[in-house]
Amino acid sequence: MIPPCVLHEDEHLLVVNKPSGWNTHSPAPFAGEGIYDWLRHHEPRWANLAIIHRLDKETSGVLVFGKTPLANKSLTEQFERREVSKRYELVTDRPVERDEFTVETDIERVGERYAARPLTKQGTRAETHFRVAQRNRDQTWLEARPTTGRTHQIRVHAAHTGFPILGDPLYGGTATGNRLCLHAAEITFSHPASGQPVRFAAQTSMFCSAASLLRRAFIHPQETDCFRLHHGAADHHADVYVEQLSEWMLAQARQSLSADRDDDTVAVIHELGRENRLRGAFFKLLQRDVRRTKAEEATPKLLFAAEAPREFVVRENGLQFHVSLNEGYSYGLFLDQRDNRRRLLTGHVAADFAFRTPHSALRVLNCFAYTCGFSVAAAKAGAHTTSLDLSKKYLEWGKRNFTLNHLDPEAHDFIYGDVFDWLRRLAKKGRTFDVVLLDPPTFSQSKESGVFRAEKDYGRLVALALPLLRPDGILFASTNCATLAPEEFLATLEMTVQRAGRRITQQHYVPQPPDFPITRDEPAHLKTVWLRIA
């Protein structure tokens, strides 16, 4: 299904409503995908998307991408000739005396900010027309129409004129703890093919939770009802993580909560439940040493709701999975791997990177299979899967997930045992696979193979897996080890492949999905990469 953020698509254009909190494009190689990167890798027909203009990360609204050389050329020229009309909406809590006025200045960069300066011949001229749309006792709503396109232009001009935008402390605005109240409401230009005027508009709620609006931009409720609803400091409330699981929430925090609504964290959870019309919430205390935590201590407790099921079914990418809140620390599905499961389901990894073998002929080995989420996605697409895990309980859970999705577990292989031991056994038997999936725990220990630590032993794991990978097969490698940097992780994989006498011919690094936003205060935890290996 098309993501909800898409407003319009034709042969030449893709128009979206970008939510606040999502970059237009990735600011750095491992800093998380921008909406452009995510869209470009989402559908094969979007592989050649081009950025024509940008919006600040915290600004929401209409964003236009080109799909063809004709569109790219036409739109670029229209922007350069200032033939594109843009209308923004903003809110300020400062008085605005005039009803309508134009601000014209130079703009120059000063550290992390931009500043308005008197016009000079050598400067970068910027012009914005403002009009008051509505006044009330505490706030003023304005329309802004920029005739030039300088970075932070509207924010700089609003602050320069004495009414910084609400939620913009960088330019002197009152901090809200939610979002920058600036929205690109409308854009008008000539269609690159027909030459006729086209107008695209989008609405937003300035005061709805920015975290909720971000998720609504790319989560299709008919397909998916389980995702990270609030991600710590990235969503303006540190050390609190909330996941939507069907009609319920699972909240996790590093400190115990009071059931009192005056508790700040509890208030956030209640508000998320209200906005998303959820029935209730469970709470789990995050433990620093999971391995030493007893199951009963890690099992979530009901925070609010008259009654709630401990086991139920969630929906992801059109698939269904059993989850249980009676199983201690984990409930049966790692939500940060949703986009990677979709890649198995569709056979499309990224722009210009797809499975070459038809799903009906595909052989997939899923190591550390847990409850077999990857296997279900691959099998639903037609592949034959082998799921390997050290836990009989989780493999049985995985078989239930197969049955839930109308897949016959008897038509697939489930192997109970130590992954390292079985990789050697399968290699001796001459077994090979088109796709090998490696998503080990950060730390594990078994009688057969001893201790595994991802930051030290990932290369050893890959070396054992490579003999099972067919020529031009795909290796998926993943870790959430916080002490293993992405650069080091990729270097380990490349060195191991080279030492095995093989060669990486395609590579796509995947950060965690956008419902797990990456910020300076909330760094990335998940590192995943897809490799085609000759």
Cα 365 from Cα 434, distance rounded (Å): 8
Q: Which of 10, 37, 56, 264 is catalytic?
A: 56
Tell me the DSSP string of 269-322.
HHHHHHHTT--EEEEEEPPS-GGGS-HHHHS-EEEESS---SEEEEEETTEEEE
435, 406 contact by CB (below 8 A) = no
Q: How many CB atoms lie under 10 A from the CB of residue 239?
A: 13
Q: How far is CA 38 from CA 3, 110, 200, 215, 513, in A?
A: 11, 31, 21, 13, 9
- Length of the chain equals 534
* Three-point CA angle 6, 12, 14, nearest 5°: 15
Cα 172 from Cα 420, distance rounded (Å): 57
Amino acid code (one letter) for 365 = L
Would you put residue 31 in left (φ > 0), alpha (ψ -120 to 50) or beta? alpha
Amino acid code (one letter) for 330 = S
Of 27, 105, 15, which is closest to residue 53 (Cα–Cα)? 15
526, 478 contact by CB (below 8 A) = yes
| Partners of 446 in beta bridges | 450
Say what angle helices 486-499 and 454-465 make with each other, to 10 degrees. 30
225 catalytic? Reply is no
Just list the catalytic residues. Answer: 56
